[in-house]
């Protein structure tokens, strides 16, 4: 037998949130329904899903606006990182994502180190444009100055 259920969450290989899919009775009864990943197809569950999606959209819009404001602040800022230098202006070590995130904390800009995108660690002196990914739809460019200590 097969049962129609309304997906309440994205399920890889099965469908996206809000889709009505046909699954085996046991799969629905033993996994999807107890885990709240799906609900029986009724008018009530459809209304519940519409409400959840509307709340999520509102929250997402507010988050996106906050991230855009933070991106504007980051684009206007720059940070200077002092490092020890050896012969030929080669750095002892390198400048990493964590050091850049810490340098921004001094300017009241709080980001996580995994939001800083470096193709490779910075190993020379100079000015660099570093991408900061705040949201899948929002990125900012930060000017990073690496200077001798």
Compute φ and ψ for 83, nearest 5 degrees.
-135, 160
pTM score: 0.70
Is residue 23 within 8 Å of residue 31, measured between CB atoms?
A: no
6 and 56 share one domain: yes
73 and 49 share one domain: no
Query: Which of 11, 46, 63 finishes a domain?
Result: 63
CATH number for the domain spanning 89: value is: 3.10.430.100
Q: Can you give the pLDDT at residue 87?
A: 80
Query: Which of 20, 41, 63 finishes a domain?
Result: 63
Q: Burial letters for 38-53: b for 16+ Cβ neighbours within 10 Å, e otherwise? A: bbeeeeeeeeebeeee
83 and 97 share one domain: yes
| Tens digits of pLDDT across the chain (149 residues) | 898 999 988 889 998 888 889 999 999 999 999 999 999 988 888 888 888 889 889 999 999 999 999 999 999 999 999 998 888 777 888 899 999 999 999 888 999 999 999 988 898 889 999 999 999 999 999 999 999 98
Domain count, the chain: 2
Q: Where are the alpha helices (DSSP H) in 1-149?
A: 25-27, 43-76, 97-105
Q: Can you give the pLDDT at residue 47?
A: 87
**Domain that includes residue 111, residue range:** 67-148
Q: Can you give the pLDDT at residue 116?
A: 93
């Amino acid at each position: 037998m097969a049962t129609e259920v309304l997906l309440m969450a994205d399920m890889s290989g099965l469908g996206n949130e809000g889709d009505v899919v046909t699954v085996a009775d046991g799969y629905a009864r033993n996994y999807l329904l107890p885990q709240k990943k799906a609900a029986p197809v009724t008018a009530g569950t459809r209304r519940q899903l519409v409400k959840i999606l509307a709340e999520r959209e509102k929250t997402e819009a507010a988050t996106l606006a906050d991230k855009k404001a933070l991106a504007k602040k980051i684009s206007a800022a720059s940070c200077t990182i002092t490092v020890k230098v050896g012969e030929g202006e080669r750095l002892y070590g390198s400048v990493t994502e964590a050091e850049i995130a810490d340098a921004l904390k001094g300017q009241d800009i709080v980001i996580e180190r995994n939001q800083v995108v470096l193709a490779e660690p910075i190993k020379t002196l100079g000015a660099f444009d570093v991408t900061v990914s705040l949201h899948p739809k929002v990125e900012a460019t930060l000017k990073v100055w690496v200077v001798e200590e």
